[in-house]
Structure 1
């Protein structure tokens, strides 16, 4: 993913998906329970996943590759960070959701890593003193359902100090009903309509693209996607909060 010579303020200012347009997508939505047809991960299953990751880490420090919301909302005290590029992977709005930032009546999309290309982001280090606790919190946030426990894996990333091994979250092909390659036009329609208890998908896209712009990173697909979502929101009526 290219880094731009343009000043970050210029790139951010040229975004078409503005805060005002995003505000149209926000409304109060009540919790509806877990995703339909999916089993919430149990404490026992989560403990087993934490144990598996720690064993795979071989008692070494754990770095997490952040490419979406973890960049602007990691959810743990970051002990260190570096710019990083994962080759052979790209970020894509390919994770279909009906909860969190969507509903069954207005489903949406979230980011996941897909094979192919390259992806610029960050690696974040878990604090050694609270590593197990923070790892459990992180996995509980990203792996909410038992069926997607295989969507956590290790990747090699290139950083300014060399290659590192980092934990990340990806779109497993075993979950084809959940993660699919979705055309940008269709993705834009889903993102523009979806809002749930945690906010809207347009808000999630806006914050991610803005964070990338502030880091002087251009993801061409996401840049095109924010334009398409903005186009849809300009012609749609604002939501009314209830």
Structure 2
């Protein structure tokens, strides 16, 4: 998708974040608003081979998977920064092409409706993990370390930000609690998570 197809010439760009983009966007923005999109939900459904794991020892990161809805954060980027922001996002999000760049309808918390760029998981990609049980999710997260750091740190930071903005995610809550108890308890936690 060409940058011109993302935002009209001279128009501000909206970007919807649902994972680490919420708390570490990495691009200049003029506005940050809570937002909701329909048709996709947040899921730890992507094997990370770069940022939070390796091909030999993958981690797990969030993707937008089909169905449901997702609350996250929308950022308004000034028109003059739009092309540079899209280039940055493509380098960050599409390093292994597991995400598809899409424009989605987002409803901001103040009631405005905007079109926003976001990245949804490609279910046909080999890094698509699908829905894993909690015990397997915990096992993979505990092993993941990549260019952007430890996988547990990513999960805990994302969960903390969701709590901060008032978003409930029971799956991430259970996982973050297990991680907070420490990696030494991973076997016991895996049993409790599956119960």
TM-score tier by shorter-chain length is 0.7 to 0.9
Cα offsets for 1:78-131 (capped at 9, x unmatched):
111211011221111111123322134422111110111221111011222222
Unmatched 5+ stretches in structure 1: 1-48, 237-242
2:155 equivalent in structure 1: 205
1:168 equivalent in structure 2: 118
Q: Over alpha carbons, which structure has the higher Rg?
A: 1
Question: Are positions 1:127 and 2:78 aligned together?
Answer: yes
Cα offsets for 1:195-236 (capped at 9, x unmatched):
123211100001101111111221122112222334561426
- Picking from 142, 150, 168, the partner of 1:218 is 168
Structure 1 residue 178, shift from structure 2 partner: 1.4
Structure 2 contact 35–74 (Cα < 8 Å) conserved: yes
1:175-186 equivalent positions in 2, closer than 5 A: 175=125, 177-179=126-128, 180-186=130-136
1:83-162 equivalent positions in 2, closer than 5 A: 83-145=34-96, 147-148=97-98, 151-159=100-108, 160-162=110-112
Distance in 2 (alpha carbons) for counterparts of 1:105 and 1:55: 36
1:44 equivalent in structure 2: none
Q: Structure 2 length normalisation: TM-score?
A: 0.85
Kindly tell me the number of residue pairs found equivalent between the two proteins: 183
Distance in 2 (alpha carbons) for counterparts of 1:103 and 1:143: 15
1:53-72 equivalent positions in 2, closer than 5 A: 53-59=3-9, 60-72=11-23
1:31 equivalent in structure 2: none
SS in structure 2 opposite 1:106? Answer: coil
Question: Are positions 1:81 and 2:32 aligned together?
Answer: yes
- Segment of structure 1 superposing worse, 180-189 or 206-215: 180-189
Structure 1 contact 108–194 (Cα < 8 Å) conserved: yes
Distance in 2 (alpha carbons) for counterparts of 1:234 and 1:163: 46
Q: Structure 1 length normalisation: TM-score?
A: 0.69
Distance in 1 (alpha carbons) for counterparts of 2:82 and 2:112: 23
Distance in 1 (alpha carbons) for counterparts of 2:154 and 2:166: 18
Distance in 2 (alpha carbons) for counterparts of 1:118 and 1:99: 27
Distance in 1 (alpha carbons) for counterparts of 2:55 and 2:84: 33
Q: Per chain length, whose mean CA-contact separation is higher, i.e. which structure has more relative contact order (CA < 8 Å, sep 6+)?
A: 1
